[in-house]
Amino acid sequence: MFKLYGFPVSNYYNMVKLTLLEKGFEFEEVITRPSQEDDYLNKSPMGKIPCLEVKEGPISETNVIFDFLEDLSPDVPLYPADPYERAKVRELSKSIELYLELVTRQLLGVVFFGAPADEQLNATVNTQLDKGVNALNRILIFSPFAAGEVMTYADFMLYYTVTLGNMATKKALGRDLCDEMPGLAGWLAIMDKNPLVQKVNADRDEALKAMAG
Ligand SMILES: N[C@@H](CCC(=O)N[C@@H](CS)C(=O)NCC(=O)O)C(=O)O
């Protein structure tokens, strides 16, 4: 059985967890925080979560884990079959990660972990976010899913990026991504109805509650 290392509050962890659930793999969750301990670095060389351990060994990096799972289980596809359409899903996923996830992530220290408000950081993030949102608005399809008619990995990347990132942009910058990205609110409502998304979110909310004490 696979082992998934990580923590249900992590957005990347939840993207992989949702993929495993959608594809019907059995897996054990090994609750793990990011760590620089040798033992964990042997599994995930940057010490980040998630990491998936399969019988051959560990794999880190979310998009790589996803591609591995897709190779193992093409019968439950989360990429389109057509090579160009596949590339467009990868383009969208990568753009979401680089220009939205990594941009909004810079606010998490202030918004969730008690770092002092930082106007310089807010200005930098605002500028990066303008560009990222403009770029994504050009390639997001929302008909009804992020990349078109079928649910793909781009939906998973966007869902867990936005559900965390939008809390941060609202709180730190007063910006609601639903106001800036046409179709986002309707698509979120569709994703929220997915029973496996609901399961991942219930685990996340329970972990958040436990953290709050
Ligand atoms: N590029 C990694 C990013 C994963 C990541 O940033 N995970 C966060 C938790 S959501 C983490 O482990 N952070 C600790 C760190 O950056 O050292 C992936 O695609 O899996």
Q: Whose CA is nearest to atom 16 of ligand 1?
A: 48
How far apart, in whole angstroms, are the C-alpha atoms of residue 172 and residue 106?
Answer: 11
Confidence of residue 212 (pLDDT cuts 50, 70, 90): confident
- Ligand 1 first shell, C-beta below 6 A: 10-12, 34, 47-50, 61-62
Per residue in 44-94, pLDDT (tens digit) is: 999 999 999 999 999 999 999 999 999 999 999 999 999 999 999 999 999
How far apart, in whole angstroms, are the C-alpha atoms of residue 202 and residue 198?
Answer: 6
The order of strands in the sheet holding 57-60 is 27-31, 2-6, 51-54, 57-60
How far apart, in whole angstroms, are the C-alpha atoms of residue 151 and residue 141?
Answer: 12
Q: Is 53 helix (H, G, I), strand (E, B) or coil?
A: strand
pLDDT score recorded for residue 202: 98
Confidence of residue 213 (pLDDT cuts 50, 70, 90): confident
Mean of pLDDT values over 177-185: 98
Question: What's the 13 CA to ligand 1 centre distance in angstroms?
Answer: 9
Q: Is 2 helix (H, G, I), strand (E, B) or coil?
A: strand
| Mutate-to-test residue for ligand 1 from 5, 11, 12, 63, highest number of ligand atoms within 8 A of CB | 12
Amino acid, res. 59: I
Q: Are 25 and 32 in contact (CB under 8 A)?
A: no
| Mutate-to-test residue for ligand 1 from 17, 33, 44, 48, highest number of ligand atoms within 8 A of CB | 48
Q: Are 118 and 110 in contact (CB under 8 A)?
A: yes
CA 35 vs CA 13, 41, 44, 50, 51: distances in Å: 14, 7, 9, 11, 12
pLDDT score recorded for residue 96: 98
Per residue in 113-166, pLDDT (tens digit) is: 999 999 999 999 999 999 999 999 999 999 999 999 999 999 999 999 999 999
Mean of pLDDT values over 31-42: 98
Question: What's the 115 CA to ligand 1 centre distance in angstroms?
Answer: 19
Name all domains of the chain by residue range, CATH numbers in brackets: 2-72 (3.40.30.10), 83-212 (1.20.1050.10)
pLDDT score recorded for residue 211: 85
